[in-house]
Amino acid sequence: MKIGLEVHVQLPTKSKLFCPCPTTDAPAPNTHVCPVCLGLPGARPMMNGKAIEYGILLAKMLGCTVRDTTWFARKIYFYPDNAKNFQITQYDRPLGEGGVYYLNGKKPIRITRIHIEEDPGKIKRVGDLSSLVDYNRSGIPLAEIVTEPDLSTPAEAREFLGQLIRDIRHTVDLPDDGERSIRCDCNLSVGTERCEVKNVTGLRNVERALTYEMVRQTKLLKAGGKVVRETRRFDEERGVTISVRKKEMEADYGYIDEPDLGIFNVKELADSLKIKESPHNMIIRLTKEYGIDDKTAKQFVSTSVDLAKLFEDLAAATDAETARTWTSGAISAGWRAFEARGVTDASEVVNIVRKFVDGEITDTECGLRIKAFLAGTDIDSVSAGSADLDAMISRYLDENPSVIDDYRKNDKAANRVIGHVMKQTGGAHSSADIVSATKRLIVERL
């Protein structure tokens, strides 16, 4: 089975792709519109430079080649939401081509191309008769990412999309607004002919649509039938794909280059733009560079890229194992409180751990100092708080000695202690603190 995706993601510009209309939510239909995005005769597009920048960042993130020049094209199709009855997109010379993106750092998924295009308006259907069109979305900038059919299962496609979207968000600082800004055209073939399911919104629906399509095509082929190349749509409520029309021959689009925008020399810009390392690539690099396991690296990065960076600073100042121990323990435990304070400079943590490594402070004192620094309190109150916590855990262990025996067989036994303490303290201590203290005290009694 082969699956290829065409992923549409909105670029986070403040104004539209070809006109200055705002991209924010509009108060009413057709209020964020102008002659350009309404396709009024005589109006013409003006390129938003920021959209090109975002597009290049994504092209680089996907390992695509960005050539010297790029330009736009008209894709002609008639539809009520398509203000000019052509869409300005890219054809002969997309922003980026020929990339490779690694799923879980292992499986290469080839990226055919990435290009920029404008979104059409939105249609509200009225009864069975006319359509009502809102052009507020007309001209919203999108990046379209096209993959080769390198994905093998619907679940893998979903996993790929999840990773891709996290990386895109990180690269262009896209706010996390659920799945609203992600739309997909999904191509799937079980045998030799493929079908395209257009316009599926959200990860879960992509997997559902692909799974339905996989089963449908498999059944069809088993029964001796033939898959017809066609476009289908996904009915979210019923979870089925429905044929909408025979795959349009490309001839119908009749692409021509867009003369109103000219060309864009993007090579220099592409070379000057540095992309932030994607969370995914960071995980892979951490495991390779510091020899930590995948799970730990994932935990650091998904908690915060800044936490992972602190781990690297620590490793540089001490060693990878020391850095891993403290980052997994006290630092992770206090991280949420640290972020909540709105502080960004955590370099003091490195000094504290250095003191421990140099033998100036004890293990326990190091933990307390880290905790105090992250929480922004003094060491005595932290010390008192954690003494209270230790005392409560110890009391429970005294009263329930079986926990230790059970723990020898299965470390899940610690959960009994943790659950009890949490209930008793009611949020006074972070769960990470309770977990680490419990484990420490149990291990002392083994």
Residue pair 45/24 in contact (Cβ under 8 Å)? The answer is no
Report, in Å, the least distance between residue 87 CB and other proteins: 11
User: If DSSP codes are grouped into helix, strand and coil, which group holds residue 63?
Assistant: coil
Q: Which one, 148 or 257, has the nearer CB to other proteins?
A: 257
CA 378 vs. chain centroid, Å, equals 37
Q: Which amino acid is at 365?
A: E
Q: Which one, 172 or 301, has the nearer CB to other proteins?
A: 172
Q: Which one, 59 or 315, has the nearer CB to other proteins?
A: 59
Binding site for other proteins (CB under 8 A): 13-15, 20-24, 28-35, 38-52, 69, 71, 74, 76, 78-81, 83-86, 123-125, 128-135, 249-252, 254-265
Cross-strand bridge partners of residue 80 = none
b/e burial code for range 236-252 (CB count within 10 A of at least 16 → b) = eeeeebeeeeeeeeeee
Report, in Å, the least distance between residue 15 CB and other proteins: 4
Residue pair 54/13 in contact (Cβ under 8 Å)? The answer is yes
Report, in Å, the least distance between residue 37 CB and other proteins: 10
Q: Which one, 41 or 175, has the nearer CB to other proteins?
A: 41
Q: Which one, 49 or 291, has the nearer CB to other proteins?
A: 49
CA dihedral angle for residue 380, residue 385, residue 388, residue 389, rounded to 10 degrees: -140
Q: Which of 231, 19, 3, 236 is nearest to 137 (CA)?
A: 19
Q: Which one, 7 or 133, has the nearer CB to other proteins?
A: 133
**Alpha-helical regions (H) of 145-273:** 154-172, 203-222, 267-272
Q: Which of 142, 121, 144 is nearest to 17 (CA)?
A: 142
Report, in Å, the least distance between residue 243 CB and other proteins: 13
Residue pair 334/374 in contact (Cβ under 8 Å)? The answer is yes
Report, in Å, the least distance between residue 50 CB and other proteins: 4
Report, in Å, the least distance between residue 12 CB and other proteins: 10
Report, in Å, the least distance between residue 251 CB and other proteins: 4
Q: Which one, 107 or 233, has the nearer CB to other proteins?
A: 233
